[in-house]
Structure 1
Amino acid sequence: MGKIIAAERQKEILKLLHDNGSVKIGQLAEYFQVSRETIRRDLAYLTEIGAAQRSHGGATSIYEFGNIPVETRINKNAETKIKLCEKALEFIPSTGVIYLDSGSTIVHLAQLLAKRSGCTIVTSSLSAANVLLNSDNTTIITGGQLNPSNMSIEGFQTTSFISNLKVAVAFLGTNGFEQHNGPAVSEFTDAQTKQAILPNAKLNIVISDSSKALTSALVQYTSWRDIDYFITDSELPKPLYDMISEMTNVILVDVHS
């Protein structure tokens, strides 16, 4: 990313905080191509005006990230997410079963799939299922307990149901992967659901915008080595690209074209 003025950079930092819940000084410095001291001044200013909270090595959102509704997160980085999902469509087979994970990016994929017909789609996301409601596809919802924060279905019934499935491709999300060697999420129950589908899909694909590289979610649900493709945008910092590329196939999408 080219250098930008302080006000624009601080606005972008707030956007990253709102989307991800936390940011790290080192990652921000690399992302904006400025010094760590510059980022510290930005975070000090944002803390002073009450827009962020300082934390060890970075800052956290003034809001509880886990409680931000998925409907709110869908609109964040929407254009980028849509372009990533358009790329993901290339991996959908003409026949076979597709699994859609929970999360805001996957809802955008469901919106694109709703324009198609003849697909069999299994999902643990009520938001995705709602989008597919009137489409010409067969939609199967996993059983289980509702998680209102991300409108997903989780728990023993969900993982038990998924463990009996075989799907052609599973599309998965992540809340962040900074400090991890694989995609991570904010809740253990979410991680369990994802872990249940991984061995039962011929192809596992993670879709995430590069801002998730700036936040570390609670629990890693798998290694990048167990993911077949990682679809992200071209703003992913090169050191991370190099590291992840050693473990999986990274597809960079130019979202500005």
Structure 2
Amino acid sequence: MLTAERRQAILQLLRESGVVRVPELSHRFHVSESTIRRDLEYLVEQGWAHRTYGGAVAVRNGESPSPSQEEDTEAEAIGRIAASLIQPGETIFLGAGPLIEALIPHLANAQDLTVVTNGLETAHRLARETPVTLIVAGGQVERPEMALTGHLTETALRELRADKVILEVDGISPLEGVTVEDLHQAAVVRTLLNLPAEVIVLVRAERLGRVGPAWVAPVDAVDHLVTSRAAPTAVLWDLSEQGLGIVLA
């Protein structure tokens, strides 16, 4: 296969799945990982992809091909990249928190998207700013996060069938896994991680390697981590070695 043909095939895979990883592409196309990295760098230079840790993520339709990340806050950058992982026609769960709220403006033109949430602020902004079909899980309000938790929430979420679960968590560690600050929140997140869906967690760089007071699940319960380029390299390597897909904003 010629280089141009391989790059076109990689671009097609990227558009279909949203994310590609170097090892899988190397195996698929029977070329070295260094060759695949050059292919991905070419796609980035052409404005068709963003760099990620170990692969690439597709540029969302309507998004500027070469956004100036220096002008973005960490939350805005993470939210923008997380939104690019969402595909038209999907049903997704969105949690609560500033990183989740930073994702919402990028859904302003979402097509045929259903969103389930337990976040009151998340629901309020989705209802005002996007055309998505919105479903809110009931429960008891947990302050200051303004998230719904408890038995009613967990019962409702067990019935959920979603394509993706996107959550902001307080910490993720190679040894201790996913943790949050609150026991009630931990129970809800644990319920969501048990669903048959692709799980994406959003974490600020400073919280990588951090262990919160409430344990949720091991690293292998998560499919992808979205964080910023300020994340510590050693922690990213350790998480990647456990099979976690890393997407850097």
Question: Do they fold alike, i.e. is TM over 0.5?
Answer: yes
- The answer to whether residue 248 in structure 2 is matched with residue 252 in structure 1 is yes
Q: SS at the partner of 1:92?
A: coil
Distance 1:189 1:201, change over 3 A: same
Partner of 1:70: none
Q: SS at the partner of 2:212?
A: coil
Q: SS at the partner of 1:132?
A: helix
TM-superposed CA distance for 1:96, in Å, is 2.2
TM-superposed CA distance for 1:178, in Å, is 5.4
Partner of 2:149: 154
Counterpart Cα distance in 2 of 1:232 and 1:219: 21
Counterpart contact for 1:207–1:231, Cα < 8 Å: yes
Q: SS at the partner of 1:95?
A: coil
Q: Structure 1 regions of 5+ residues with no counterpart?
A: 1-77
Counterpart contact for 2:209–2:235, Cα < 8 Å: no
Counterpart Cα distance in 2 of 1:180 and 1:146: 31
Counterpart contact for 2:166–2:199, Cα < 8 Å: yes
2:92 aligns with one of 94, 98, 104: 98
Partner of 1:211: 206
TM-score (norm 1): 0.64
TM-superposed CA distance for 1:148, in Å, is 2.1
Counterpart Cα distance in 2 of 1:137 and 1:228: 24
Distance 1:214 1:227, change over 3 A: closer
1:83 aligns with one of 64, 77, 99: 77
Letter in 1 for 2:125: V
Counterpart Cα distance in 1 of 2:109 and 2:87: 15
Partner of 1:222: 217
Counterpart Cα distance in 1 of 2:246 and 2:145: 26
More deviation in 143-152 or 194-203?
194-203
Counterpart contact for 2:117–2:135, Cα < 8 Å: yes
Counterpart Cα distance in 2 of 1:213 and 1:232: 9
Q: Structure 2 regions of 5+ residues with no counterpart?
A: 1-71
Letter in 2 for 1:205: I
- The answer to whether residue 131 in structure 2 is matched with residue 140 in structure 1 is no
Counterpart Cα distance in 2 of 1:156 and 1:125: 16
Counterpart contact for 2:158–2:192, Cα < 8 Å: yes
Counterpart contact for 2:177–2:219, Cα < 8 Å: yes
TM-superposed CA distance for 1:181, in Å, is 2.7
Counterpart contact for 1:170–1:204, Cα < 8 Å: yes
Q: Deviations over 1:117-150 (max 9, x none)?
A: 4311000000100101132111110010011210
Letter in 1 for 2:167: L
Distance 1:225 1:215, change over 3 A: closer
1:237 aligns with one of 229, 232, 235: 232
TM-superposed CA distance for 1:168, in Å, is 0.3
Counterpart Cα distance in 1 of 2:102 and 2:218: 25
Letter in 1 for 2:205: S
Counterpart contact for 1:170–1:201, Cα < 8 Å: no
Letter in 2 for 1:174: V
